Amino acid sequence: MWPLPPISGVSIRYINQIVLPAAKIDTDDYFTIPIRTAREGTSALSSFVYRVESVIPGGDIARSTFASMARDDRANAFLLDFEFLREERFASFEDAERAADRLKNLENEEFESCITDATRELFH
């Protein structure tokens, strides 16, 4: 049997589509990420993409995307896409697995911090 190559990085990614059942909504009711439109926020929202890459203390990297998707008279869809990664040479598979577990916890915390109770109610 051939030895496994060294593990040089771990990442997890969760892509969430959240569909809101209304033609006109205030994104602040469902998400904690503010969206500001033109003219000091007085213009109607038609679409947006918000993308951020962060370095977390300790060296993990977080990439998040919040964007509008399909719209019609009955619903608005939004994307919450989170990727967390750690680039390092892991000494063992178990070390990489522990890093993946930590990244999953970070992703879950980030997702929960970006939605409101109104959004959580949609999942029940």
pTM of the model: 0.85
Whole-angstrom CA distances from 82 to 7, 51, 66 are: 22, 10, 9
Q: Where in the chain are the domains?
A: 10-122
Alpha helices in 15-92, H assignment, sequence order: 38-41
Asked if pLDDT for residue 75 goes beyond 70, the answer is yes
Six-digit token string for 63 = 């990439």
Digit-coded pLDDT (tens) for 7-59: 999 999 999 999 987 766 788 899 999 988 888 878 877 889 999 999 999 99
pLDDT computed for residue 118 by the predictor: 92
The overall average pLDDT reported for the chain is: 90
CA distance 101 to 43: 42
Which helix (H) or strand (E) covers residue 10, if one does? strand 10-20
